[in-house]
């Protein structure tokens, strides 16, 4: 799309499944993967006379995210019935918030790939119930209501995005935020975070164009691709003077394009009205104070602090603050005496490599902070060299052992006394006459090779610095 002629406006509707033990209005379990219709009761099945009651935890988590998104909390939030005819919710209506949602008028800062900060305004955030799942076949539609009535928070942004890249960066950051707060696991592939994008383009300066809603986006990358595809498609229509239909389109991941959903004949008329079964929820000062005590430093702020406080480069700070657990681990290690640069390098490099290979998370892995610090300390003090430390790290994680025991068992303690190293050095030098002559002639290139040979002959235990000293001493 020619960005000198057209501009793009993108707004998002993000649904996230909240982490709670029970559903939003009844005490059925909120759990994924149970046999069909295991977690159902008269309330979520819409039996006559059954009364819904709001799950306090769902309200808390919803409002906590609202605060993190800098939303104003409505003093009195009201639940409404959104009427629609579809069997994925047995009541024939969805309980949601319409006129008085929990949060309004917020904003989120996101770091873009070019390093700039993008501020996106949040229109509103409301709490609602999720619908059940259905499988359609020829004889009928099979309903599983385990998910019906589970708490879902919908966050609606203003149309502040200009490109698919901005949206992708925003979604990654948003996912980090909800995981930091512990309100949702934000897994787009599994549907615990779902995103619809409203995309419109227009000639520059003409304001918003016709809005096209794109659904079925199950990764932040697909959201980006779908937006880019829509820009091309809509620009082509505008150039040809053809109308853009205000419609809902589905992303086809195989064909990498959007396709029109069967458009509904009449515009939706959901006939919202306040649910008489549910009293309004007042966000009292006590409630807000409780939420504020639950707020944590958000990923972007933490990244920036890591850069200034620990003098880390952006890339490293970004890596460490991806997940709250990892950032907490790093800070805890520093507090207990680890050198920040050193700890960061290990965490970003070998620790992550081994954890990924073993499919483990750092906090639940055998590499507790005490062992990690001890390992760094051994290298620092010259008890083991860097290469040995990598082997020790691997064994700590795969065999759940203490670093000192591993070193003792394998007799890996670094050798740096001249008496035991000198014979090895002499042997290597005697076998490498060509290299020795080269060095004598002033070419220092083979030094590395000689050190390597000595290391190999000492079973990897030699202190490379000491070895170099001895070699130079001997050749001179």
Partner 1 sequence: MLKKEELLITASLARLELDETEAEKLNQAASQMIEYFALMDKVDVENLSPTTHALVKENRTREDIPAEISLADKMIENAPEKEGRFIVVPNVL
Using CB under 8 A, list all residues that contact partner 1. 20-22, 27-29, 35-42, 45, 53-59, 76, 78, 83, 85-87, 134-145, 266, 269, 271, 274, 276, 278-282, 284
Q: How far is the CB of 108 from partner 1 (least distance, A)?
A: 27
d(CA 408, CA 246): 71
Helix, strand or coil for residue 42?
coil
Question: Contact 283/102 with Cβ under 8 angstroms?
Answer: yes
Residue 259 phi, psi dihedral angles, 5° rounding: -135, 145
Burial class (CB in 10 A: 0-12, 13-18, 19+), 259: exposed
Q: Which residues have C-beta within 8 Å of that of residue 100, sequence separation ≥ 6?
A: 74, 76, 77, 78, 280
Q: How far is the CB of 139 from partner 1 (least distance, A)?
A: 7
Q: Which of 134, 475 has the CB closer to partner 1?
A: 134
Q: How far is the CB of 210 from partner 1 (least distance, A)?
A: 24
Pairing status of strand 248-252 against strand 212-217: parallel
Q: Which of 132, 299 has the CB closer to partner 1?
A: 132
Query: Which pair of tokens denotes residue 174?
Result: 């948003």
Q: Which of 39, 414 has the CB closer to partner 1?
A: 39
Taken in order 77, 79, 80, 86, the sign of the CA dihedral is positive
Length of the chain equals: 476
Helix, strand or coil for residue 422?
helix
Q: Which of 26, 462 has the CB closer to partner 1?
A: 26
Q: How far is the CB of 122 from partner 1 (least distance, A)?
A: 24
Q: Which of 287, 475 has the CB closer to partner 1?
A: 287
Q: How far is the CB of 334 from partner 1 (least distance, A)?
A: 35
d(CA 246, CA 252): 19
Q: Which of 39, 258 has the CB closer to partner 1?
A: 39
Residue 422 phi, psi dihedral angles, 5° rounding: -55, -45
Q: How far is the CB of 382 from partner 1 (least distance, A)?
A: 53
Q: Which of 260, 387 has the CB closer to partner 1?
A: 260
Question: Contact 128/68 with Cβ under 8 angstroms?
Answer: no
Q: How far is the CB of 278 from partner 1 (least distance, A)?
A: 8
Q: How far is the CB of 35 from partner 1 (least distance, A)?
A: 6
The CA dihedral of 451, 452, 456, 458, to the nearest 10 degrees, is 20
The CA dihedral of 177, 182, 188, 189, to the nearest 10 degrees, is 140
Q: Which of 83, 304 has the CB closer to partner 1?
A: 83
Question: Contact 44/26 with Cβ under 8 angstroms?
Answer: yes
Q: How far is the CB of 279 from partner 1 (least distance, A)?
A: 5
Q: How far is the CB of 131 from partner 1 (least distance, A)?
A: 13
Q: Which of 42, 349 has the CB closer to partner 1?
A: 42
Report the candidate in 404, 401, 416, 411 with the shortest Cα–Cα distance to residue 464. 416
d(CA 475, CA 398): 42
Residue 425 gets the label, from left (phi > 0), alpha (psi -120 to 50) or beta, of: alpha
Q: Which of 54, 296 has the CB closer to partner 1?
A: 54
Residue 161 gets the label, from left (phi > 0), alpha (psi -120 to 50) or beta, of: beta
Q: How far is the CB of 146 from partner 1 (least distance, A)?
A: 9
Q: Which of 264, 335 has the CB closer to partner 1?
A: 264
Burial class (CB in 10 A: 0-12, 13-18, 19+), 101: buried
Question: Contact 170/223 with Cβ under 8 angstroms?
Answer: no
């Amino acid at each position: 799309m020619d960005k000198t002629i057209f501009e793009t406006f993108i707004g998002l509707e993000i649904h996230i499944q909240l982490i709670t033990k029970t559903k939003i209005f009844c005490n059925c379990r909120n759990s994924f993967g149970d046999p069909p219709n295991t977690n159902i009761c008269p309330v979520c099945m819409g039996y006559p006379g059954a009364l819904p009651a709001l799950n306090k935890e769902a309200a808390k988590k919803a409002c906590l995210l609202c605060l993190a998104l800098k939303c104003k909390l409505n003093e009195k939030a009201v639940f409404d019935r959104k009427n629609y005819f579809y069997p994925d919710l047995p009541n024939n209506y969805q309980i949601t918030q319409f006129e008085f949602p929990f949060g309004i008028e917020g904003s989120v800062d996101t770091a873009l790939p070019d390093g700039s900060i993008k501020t996106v305004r949040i229109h509103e955030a409301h709490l609602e119930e999720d619908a059940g799942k259905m499988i359609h076949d020829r004889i009928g539609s099979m309903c599983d209501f385990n998910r019906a009535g589970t708490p879902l928070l919908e966050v609606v942004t203003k149309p502040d995005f200009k490109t698919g890249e901005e949206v992708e960066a925003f979604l990654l950051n948003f996912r980090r935020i909800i995981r930091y707060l512990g309100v949702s696991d934000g897994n787009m592939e599994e549907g615990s975070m779902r995103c619809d994008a409203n995309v419109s383009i227009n000639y520059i300066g003409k304001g918003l164009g016709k809005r096209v809603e794109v659904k079925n986006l199950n990764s932040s990358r697909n959201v980006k691709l779908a937006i880019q595809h829509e820009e091309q498609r809509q620009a082509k229509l505008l150039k040809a003077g053809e109308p853009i239909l205000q419609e809902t389109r589905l992303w086809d991941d195989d064909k990498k394009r959007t396709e029109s959903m069967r458009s509904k004949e009449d515009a939706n008329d959901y006939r919202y009205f306040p649910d008489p079964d549910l009293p309004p929820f007042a966000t009292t000062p006590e409630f807000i104070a409780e939420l504020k005590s639950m707020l944590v430093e958000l990923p972007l702020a933490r990244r920036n602090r890591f850069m200034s406080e620990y003098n880390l480069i952006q890339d490293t700070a970004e890596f460490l603050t991806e997940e709250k657990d990892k950032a907490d681990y790093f800070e805890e290690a520093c507090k207990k005496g680890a050198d920040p640069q050193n700890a960061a390098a290990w965490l970003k490099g070998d620790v992550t490599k081994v954890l990924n290979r073993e499919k483990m998370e750092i906090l639940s892995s055998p590499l507790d902070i005490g062992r990690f610090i001890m390992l760094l300390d051994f290298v620092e003090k010259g008890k083991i060299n860097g290469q040995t430390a990598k082997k020790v790290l691997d064994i700590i994680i795969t065999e759940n052992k203490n670093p000192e025991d591993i070193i003792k068992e394998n007799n890996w303690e670094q050798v740096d006394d001249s008496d035991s190293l000198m014979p090895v050095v002499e042997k290597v030098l005697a076998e490498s006459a060509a290299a020795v002559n080269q060095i004598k002639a002033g070419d220092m290139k083979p030094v590395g090779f000689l050190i390597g040979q000595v290391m190999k002959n000492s079973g990897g235990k030699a202190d490379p610095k000491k070895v170099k000293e001895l070699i130079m001493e001997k050749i001179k």
